[in-house]
Amino acid sequence: MQTGIKIRLFKAGFCTHPGFIVLPGSGIKPKKFPAGIALIEHPKAGYVLFDTGYHPDFHKSTRSFPERFYAMVTPCHLDHGENIAEQLQTLDIHHSAIKHLLLSHFHADHIAGLVDFPDATIHCHQAGLDYINTANRINRVRKGYLKNLVPEKANQQFSFFDSFTIDIANILDLKEQIGLYAQDWFHDQSLYVVNLPGHAAGHIGLLIRLENSFVFLLADACWLKDSLAKHIDQHWIANILSDDHHAYKDTLQKLRRCYELCDDSVKFVPSHCEETIANLMAKGWMS
């Protein structure tokens, strides 16, 4: 099926955690976790950005306590010219060309660059925005949210997904149902927003149909591809940060089954898997 879709992967900074947090047994040596971003070119909708990665505003938002604890526990590294708007500019893509910005969830490493896209419609799950707006300051920081990263003007930009009715098995032509449900975003069978609950409030991913394969942007439904391929679970400390740990485990098990059934036709892309993102970045535009 020819969809005319093109996709390109970027990294906008990275954070560090002790390796054992996501790969038990790998010790305390810090491991880099890139803030992965995808730019999708849709033949009718134009440029679609999946998440925004880190931005200098992250450092501004974590100067005071309790937000400073976030930066201490999850150190952010961002070189000059590395935020996504600057990277797009080097490709002659002005921020105003981004008409649609999809947020997988509202953790700081996924939304920090919102400020650079005042012209885009921001698409997300209502539950994500509700949490960052209503949770108290301590709980927001404890769960990885920085409310100051959502510009006040952005409240006029939001559009919400609210109807996940298609089992992804029907999209991928699998013989058994998976139990993860999607919405056909532009009603053309090219981009499917997938409900992936558990990691954060309103957590979603994006299933992209290319000509002969699919790319599945998993956001933080798992942190490493090995979580799917080798059934490696994150450390219990990481589970504390989950919005709903039981829902997280359920989503992960369903993704593992999906991986078993269609790894040959689907590229599974966790937002923080260094190896996966680097390999796809080396390929440039995929169509």
What's residue 28's pLDDT?
Answer: 74
Under DSSP, the state recorded for 188 is: S
Q: Please check whether residue 102 lies inside any domain of the structure.
A: yes
Q: How many domains are contained in the chain?
A: 1
Spatial contact of 117 and 125, defined as CB atoms under 8 Å apart: no
- Is 109 within a domain? yes
Q: Dig out the tokens for 221 from the structure.
A: 């439904």
Spatial distance between the Cα atoms of 85 and 57, rounded to a whole number of angstroms: 13
- Read off φ and ψ for residue 155, nearest 5 degrees: -60, -20
- As a whole number of Å, the CA-based R_g of the chain is 18
Domain that holds residue 208: 6-281
Residue 248: inside a domain: yes
Q: Which CATH number is 83's domain given?
A: 3.60.15.10
Dist CA 95 CA 109 (whole Å): 19
Q: Which has the closest alpha carbon to 156: 201, 109, 119?
A: 119
pLDDT tens for each residue of the chain, 287 residues long? 678 999 999 999 998 876 566 666 666 777 889 999 999 999 999 999 999 999 999 999 999 999 998 898 888 999 999 999 999 999 999 999 999 999 999 999 999 999 999 999 999 999 999 999 999 999 999 899 999 999 988 989 999 998 999 999 999 999 999 999 999 999 999 999 999 999 999 999 999 999 999 999 999 999 989 999 999 887 666 677 788 999 999 999 999 999 999 989 999 999 999 999 999 999 999 87
pTM: 0.95
Which of left, alpha, beta for 87 (phi over 0: left; psi -120 to 50: alpha)? alpha
Predicted pLDDT at 16? 83
Bridge pairing between strands 158-161 and 204-209: unpaired
Diameter over CA atoms, the chain: 52
249 within domain boundaries: yes
Residue 199: closest CA among 157, 226, 239: 239
In-domain check, residue 76: yes
Beta strands in the chain (DSSP E): 6-18, 30-42, 46-50, 76-77, 98-102, 121-125, 158-161, 166-167, 181-184, 191-195, 204-209, 214-219, 266-270
Is 286 part of any domain?
Answer: no
Q: How far apart are CA 275 and CA 263, in angstroms?
A: 16
Helix, strand, or coil here: 44?
coil
Residue with tokens 């040596």: 29
Alpha helices in the chain (DSSP H): 57-61, 67-73, 84-90, 108-111, 126-134, 137-142, 168-172, 226-229, 236-239, 245-262, 274-281
Q: What integer pLDDT is reported at residue 43 of this predicted model?
A: 95
Which pLDDT score is estimated for 24? 63
Q: Does residue 1 form part of some domain? A: no
